[in-house]
Structure 1
Amino acid sequence: MHRVFLYLSKMANASSSALRAKKIPDNLYELCLTNLVNYLQKSKCGRNVLDGLPDTVRMDVYYKMLQEKRLCILGAELSKLDVFERLMRFAGSQLKLLQCFQAVIEHGSRLSAELAASYLAKTECGCNSRLDLIHLGLRLGGFLNEAGWYADAQRVLLRCRELCQEMPQTTYYKRLTLECCHRLLNTQSAYCCFPAAAETYALALQLLGIPDDVTADLPDGPLAVADTCDKALQTDEEEYIDSDCPGFGADSSWGWSALCTRVCKELSALFFVRCDYSAAYVWALRALRMLTPHTPHKITIEVLRACGKACVVKRRFGAAGLLVRQAVALARAAFGVNHPRYAAALLDLGFYLLNIDSIVHSVAVYEEALCTLRRVFGRSSLHVATAQEDLAYALYVLEYSSGRFYKARDHAERAIRIIENLVPPDHLLLASAKRVKALILEEIALDTPAGQDMTAPTLLEESEALHKAALALSMMAFGEKNVQTAKHYGNLGRLYQSMQKFQDAETMHLKAIAIKEELLGPEDYEVGLSIGHLASLYNYHMNMHCAAEKLYLRSISISLKLFGERYSGLEYDYRGLVHVFTQLKRHDRANHYNRLLQHWQELREQSKAEQQPALGDEQILPLSELHAKFFAPND
């Protein structure tokens, strides 16, 4: 066995190019790893020999444990905080470490909670320097966040923030506190911890020198924040560099410029999940402007993604496509197609494609993202659940006309099961997945022929329970005046229409329209969607054809303005107007909208022949060219 250790050490000391030049057979190295794993499995006293191996070999040993399904011994090794810290420091281990970490948890370990508890205990024992503990907390909290274990990540990062604030408040430690706030914002946004995120947000603004009430009750609040932020971001870089503390130079990923860019990106993400899309958009633009050719790829990709999503909800589709495709191309080039950062960029591309009505391509992109995430995280991760929920909704939209909803239903139910196993029963993350399943069940019930399946009423009742649960979670998190709450009202309105509860349906639709108009303005896509649903209720069920006509025309006007003549939703409005004018005996108008419907069908056939750029064909633009295109006045 000594020869095995000696051989492995020699392999680690040789560069990868040297290994290729010598043509050392891979199977010999793999055989040594297997023998070492077998030896460690049998001899507990021999495990300390791993301490003498270089990081690259040690990670390969652990990965071999994963491949050989030796998950008990792997879990025992990874649960040692000093071992885990060493692996986190090794830049080449991240993807393998994520896979090993998740596999151990799926095997039944509480590795995430154990590591968090070990860190908290270590901060209390007084045996380590505060600075070392802070850096360890930032690394561990960041890793747990990237792995999707947000609750444990938050525990670590909150303690890390306390340690920062207990130190003398020099510029250097304020900067460390801001770094901690950045990572906390990422965790708290993803896990929907909005009260805690509000505290972190206020502290981040304080550290940046921005008043925490700058957005209060001001219609142009986000713009005011951005202008004030500019002054804070123009602080002399040298003021924030401590020569005694490496890793914080101007060109590092923790440099002041990069740190401020990441904070702006996280503020955008926070406002996005809170459905304050105007603020999300402004903070994302601020981060985008701050990118330089020297910004690390990871940060650039995150900023492009955040800004691309904000552009989608602001209906700047040309700009959104430019940014999300650039993010996908950069993630592929920097991390490869098997990395979760590439999958995350794909999810944003799928979101963009879904919103521009390119449904088939959206489904394909979501499917690839899900496959990538499953390869890394297995089948019991919040990251995987999010991808399954996104894919379920895209499949629901794709199969809306065909009625083949069972694949969509399967993905929605898998997403709910994963989330229910990982979060408390009243967690907001369940709301969206339940909403998607409810929509699917409603359509399955409606597509079931009368008398063929006695479960149809049950499906509608189950859909109602899911919609009400999602609404309750949204009300708890956001209150009534929120876009997500309005969407849940609208979904209940459609369901009550299907259940022939027409007065209840009207009440829900009117609530949805009122909230959306107040928050988004009268010409927003979401407003048009709810108006179309109310028009359908008036047209087909309440014999209010004149009122339905006005609503359909308004919905069509919004759709044409935002999406053009090929938009899929126009079909329902055109068909609705044909029915309206047929009922009103105005056959000339009915024929007019029949012709428009036929023209729309021709355009849709043309759209099917048009191809979206294939994955892998995206070109990485120089940042100066990307900025020039994005900030072009006519976009």
Structure 2
Amino acid sequence: MNSSAPGNSNSPKFLYDLALDSLVRGLGTTVPSLERIHRLPELPRNILIDVYEMMSKRDFLKDTLLEELCRLEVFTRLVRYSPARSKLLRIVASLMASKKMLASRLSEAYIARYGQDWELNGDLEEERKAEEMMQLPSAARQDDRARELLRDYVADDESPGTSSSSSTCRRQDSDPNKVPLQPEPNVMPLTNLQDLPAEELQAIDTGLRMGSFLSEAGWMQESISVLSCLNARLKRLPPHKYWLEMRYDCLQRLLYAESSHCNFKLAHRTYEELIELNRSLTDSVPAQLVALTYSQISAMYFARNEYVNSHMWSGLAMRSLKASAPPRIAIDVLRQAAKACVVKRDFARANLLICQAVRRARQHFGVNHQKYGDVLMDYGFFLLNVDSVFQSVNVYKEALAVRRGIFGNMNFHVAIAHEDLSYAYYVHEYSTGDFSCAQDHVDKAVTIMKNLVPSNHLMLASAKRVKALLLEEIALDKMADGIDEEDLLLQSEQLHNFALLLSLEVFGEVNVQTAKHYGNLGRLYQTMNRFEEAERMHQKAIKIKTDLLGAFDYEVGLSIGHLASLYNYQMKKYRDAEKLYLRSIDISLRLFGHSYSGLEYDYLGLCHVYETLHDFEKYLQYAHTLENWQILRGQNITQNKSSYPAIEEDYTIEEVKSKFFNMSAPNSSKVSPPQLEFN
């Protein structure tokens, strides 16, 4: 029976919903009712998930539902059923919002069963085997089962960092699109490896699916616990046919969760394990898994603000991406490569990649799917960086709506969406001084993060950084009206220093994020009339950014402009300010063109410098330049023009790769395939 078919009161849909409602209304906490609930997993999965979803909407049944879903056999049965994915995410969100800690219960149950010594005694061992064998085929089909699991979890349509389970995308031994990776002499021939026991397949399959589901649902720490347990188990296994592929996939999923949770020490250890496995890569590892793994490594470096390495690994991922890659893998590789291009200011390539990722996500998953929300977050990031701020705000709003529709309000992914939208609003409303929307979203981000992560977590510090920027601007506006708002500035300083100290602890001094915090403090100290401290902060930011990113990066230009403002309006170092303004303008014109919004502040600053120095010829020159900028900017806003309009055409993966690798780089040089040395 199709539970989604529309119709009237006589339609199958109406009758189906009526039957569901009647069933759930009859459930309760009596012994007979609990026995009926315990037998619900005997229902077909498409019906079972609907029953559970209806139960999740009734508070008096949530405790019972929690206990049912904590049974590994029940949860694994549902998580293996791709059509139920969105409903299962909503069920978990509903339970977690009601303080029913399903995520931690699931991770604890997995570790209790599979993280202990393999040899168990007595009735517990027999019970465990009996439960597992209910889910397993006969021993004669164990090898087929292994192949099935590999197809499923490498091409799983509903897990982060994986792909569609379409049969056309499954790996075949004769696939001509595999990366031709040569094994080292110490790799044992496949014919000498042992077959994997059926019970072990169940442990691996459950761990991979549960770990990925938990990270997709936003419960990163629990995902890390499950995947770390599985990784340790895989390392203890004797060599078998699928050992390399399974370990590789487990590690890339673990790396995703650790990097997303900003646990960079663990992520680096996982990265080192992946690099060690690269020494033994054979063509038994599908090209799609290799591409995805390289993309996850790029994402780790991106989160650590190490943009050169992130860009290099994303290039490797693009090289490994094949036309046969399932949609989810193709989308994830494209969007990560796009982000790596954005921070390298390679906007033309980034536009190509992110537009293709958005179109694929919309076509393959629909506009209410988490993957579409993920891609919109990255598209908003691109638009904000190419000065399409209004469009960026709208895209972030749509992304937030998608995530809230899936995860509710109290969720890690939702907090990130609130923070990114807040910052986009902050940039958009900078000229108007109305930061109410930005403040509302950052307050929500901070509140959510306080409930989900420790007080010294980087993600909380990131949200507090945005809040500090807003407090400073609000204080400035009130001070302009004659209102003393020193308390707001002191709050802002406290938040900035908290973020700086944490960044120094995690990343060290020479890191882009640390430099940004120095720059933020410099601006704040300028507002607080602590000019020498402000100068030192800006100079630190400029040096670190220049050393890491080069002399003509956007971030360098931003810090140079801030120091120019300090010299111009507060410290009266007009000639120094003039030189810095001209450098900032040069960088902006190189990257963004003549209508870039940030040019306004530099042109106004130069006009002030030349007026103060009585250099009226140059004053008139830049006053005229400012007028032309205002006209051009107004035309672009009125006509909704963008330097990088959305690409509406669909390309094949091979066409995207061809355009990507043959497109002129910002410095007019071609991108060569990155070379890696794994020694």
TM-score by length of 1: 0.88
**Partner in structure 1 of residue 136 of structure 2:** none
Deviation at 1:73, TM superposition (A): 3.2
Aligned counterpart in structure 2 of residue 80 of structure 1, from 71, 81, 91: 71
Cα distance, 1:289 vs structure 2:
2.1
* TM alignment of 1:556-575, pairs within 5 A: 556-575=585-604
- Residue 527, structure 1, aligned to residue 552, structure 2: no
Partner of 1:215: none
The aligned counterpart of 1:197 is: 267
Deviation at 1:172, TM superposition (A): 1.7
Instruction: Note if 1:161 corresponds to 2:207.
Output: no
Other-structure match for 1:52: 42
Q: Is the 8 A contact 1:502 1:541 kept in 2?
A: yes
Secondary structure in 1 aligned to 2:242?
helix
Distance 1:617 1:585, change over 3 A: closer
AA in 1 matched with 2:28: Q
Q: CA 1:67/1:611 → structure 2, altered by over 3 Å: closer, same or farther?
A: farther
Rounded to whole Å, the distance in 1 between the matches of 2:652 and 2:480 is: 59
Q: 1:628 Cα shift?
A: 2.3
Aligned to 1:178: 248
1:63 alignment counterpart = 53
Structure 1 residue 24: Cα displacement: 4.0
Which of the residues 204, 211, 214 maps onto 1:134?
204
The answer to whether the 8 Å contact 1:65/1:71 transfers is yes
Going from structure 1 to structure 2, the CA distance change for 1:326 and 1:357 (only over 3 Å counts) comes to same
Q: Which amino acid aligns with 2:231?
A: R
Q: Equivalent residue for 2:397?
A: 367
Aligned: 1:462 with 2:502: no
Tell me the alpha carbon deviations over residues 284-338 of structure 1, each in whole angstroms, 9 at most, x when there is no partner: 1111222222211111111111001011111111111111111111111111111
Q: Aligned AA for 1:92? A: P
Instruction: Report the AA paired with residue 26 of structure 1.
Output: K
Task: Provide the secondary structure at the position in 1 that maps to 2:211.
Answer: helix
Match of 1:631, SS? helix
* Aligned position for 2:23: 36
1:326 to 316, 334, 356: 356
Give the secondary structure class of the aligned counterpart of 2:664.
Answer: coil
Where does 1:60-459 land on structure 2 (aligned, <5 Å)?
A: 60-68=50-58, 70-123=61-114, 124=116, 127-128=128-129, 129-170=199-240, 172-209=242-279, 232=281, 235-236=282-283, 240=284, 256-449=286-479, 453-454=483-484, 456-459=485-488
Cα distance change of structure 1 residues 26 and 324 upon mapping to structure 2, 3 Å threshold: same
SS in 1 for 2:662: coil
- CA distance in 2: counterparts of 1:483 and 1:358, whole angstroms: 23
Q: Is the 8 A contact 1:189 1:269 kept in 2?
A: yes
> How far is the alpha carbon of 1:51 from its aligned partner?
2.6
Relative to structure 1, the CA distance from residue 184 to residue 34 in structure 2 (aligned partners, 3 Å threshold; closer, same or farther) is same
| Counterpart-to-counterpart distance in 2, 1:283 and 1:356 | 23
- Report the secondary structure of 1:500's partner residue: coil
Q: Distance in 2 between matches of 1:622 and 1:609?
A: 34
Distance 1:298 1:549 in 2: 50
Q: What's the RMSD between the two structures over aligned residues?
A: 2.1
Task: Report deviation, 1:438.
Answer: 0.6
Question: Is 1:446–1:498's contact at 8 Å kept on the other side of the alignment?
Answer: yes
Question: In the alignment, what sits opposite 1:605?
Answer: 634
Letter of the 2:262 partner, please give it: C
Q: Which residues of structure 2 form unaligned runs of 5+? A: 130-198, 666-679
Give the 3-state SS of the residue equivalent to 2:651 in structure 1: coil
Q: Which residue of 1 aligns with 2:614?
A: 585
Query: Does the residue aligned with 1:535 lie in a helix, a strand or coil?
Result: helix
Structure 1: which amino acid aligns with 2:258?
A: Q
Deviation sequence 1:94-135 (CA, Å, 0-9, x none): 111001001101011111110000001111256452332122
Which letter does structure 1 place at the counterpart of 2:348?
Answer: G
Residue 47 and residue 280 in structure 1: after superposition, are their counterparts in 2 closer, same or farther (change >3 A)? same
Given that residues 78 and 101 in structure 1 are in contact (C-alpha distance below 8 angstroms), is that contact kept between their aligned partners in structure 2?
no
Conservation of the 8 A alpha-carbon contact between 2:355 and 2:646: no
Cα offset, 1:65, TM superposition: 1.9
Letter in 2 for 1:499: M
C-alpha distance in structure 1 between counterparts of 2:646 and 2:558, whole Å: 34
State the one-letter code of the partner of 2:66.
Answer: G
Q: 1:480 to 1:171 in 2, by over 3 A?
A: farther
8 Å Cα contact 2:3/2:16 also seen in 1 = no
2:535 is the counterpart of 1:506: yes
Distance 1:51 1:171, change over 3 A: closer
Q: Distance in 2 between matches of 1:76 and 1:45?
A: 13
Give the number of the structure whose residues are more often helix, by fraction.
1
Residue deviations 1:239-258 (CA, integer Å, cap 9, x gap): x2xxxxxxxxxxxxxx6211
Counterpart of 1:26 (choices 1, 8, 13) is: 13
Q: Single out whichever of 32-41 and 416-425 deviates more from structure 2.
A: 32-41
Q: State the Cα deviation string for residues 585-615 of structure 1 (Å, max 9, x = none).
A: 1011011000110011011011113336999
Contact 1:164 1:174 in 2 (8 A): no
In 2: Cα distance, 1:148 partner to 1:564 partner: 39
2-structure distance, mates of 1:369, 1:469: 29
| Aligned equivalents of 1:399, 1:552: Cα separation in 2 | 23
Change (3 A) 1:553 1:16: closer
Residue 343 of structure 1 aligns with an amino acid whose one-letter code is: G
- Determine the structure 1 residue equivalent to 2:180: none
The 3 A distance-change label for structure 1 pair 501 and 68 is same
Report deviation, 1:452.
5.1
CA contact (8 A) 1:277 1:313 kept: yes
State how far apart, in whole Å, the 1-side matches of 2:326 and 2:645 are.
Answer: 23
Give SS of 1:448's match.
Answer: helix
Cα deviation 1:487-525 (Å, max 9, x = unaligned): 000000000000000000001000101111111111111
CA separation of 1:110 and 1:67: change in aligned 2, threshold 3 A: closer
Give the secondary structure class of the aligned counterpart of 1:418: helix
Residue 25 of structure 2 aligns with an amino acid whose one-letter code is N
Q: Match of 2:54, SS? A: helix
Cα distance in 2 between the residues matched to 1:461 and 1:627: 50
Q: Is the 8 A contact 1:574 1:594 kept in 2?
A: yes
Quote the offset at 1:147 in angstroms.
0.8
Q: Which amino acid aligns with 2:72?
A: L
**Alpha-carbon contact 2:600-2:629 (below 8 Å) kept:** yes
CA contact (8 A) 2:429 2:435 kept: yes
- Counterpart of 1:381, as a letter, is N
Partner of 2:652: 622
Structure 1 contact 549–577 (Cα < 8 Å) conserved: yes
Name the amino acid aligned to 1:365.
V
Q: CA deviation at 1:477?
A: 0.8
Q: TM-score, normalised by structure 2?
A: 0.83
Aligned equivalents of 1:75, 1:335: Cα separation in 2: 28
Partner of 1:6: none
Q: Which amino acid aligns with 1:532?
A: G
| Residue 616 of structure 1, CA deviation | 10
Report the 3-state secondary structure (helix = DSSP H, G, I; strand = E; otherwise coil) of the residue aligned with 2:223.
helix
- AA aligned to 2:417 is A
In 2, are the aligned partners of 1:502 and 1:537 still within 8 Å (CA)?
A: yes
Question: Match of 1:516, as an amino acid?
Answer: K
Deviation of 1:57 (Å): 0.7
Q: 1:542 to 1:15 in 2, by over 3 A?
A: closer
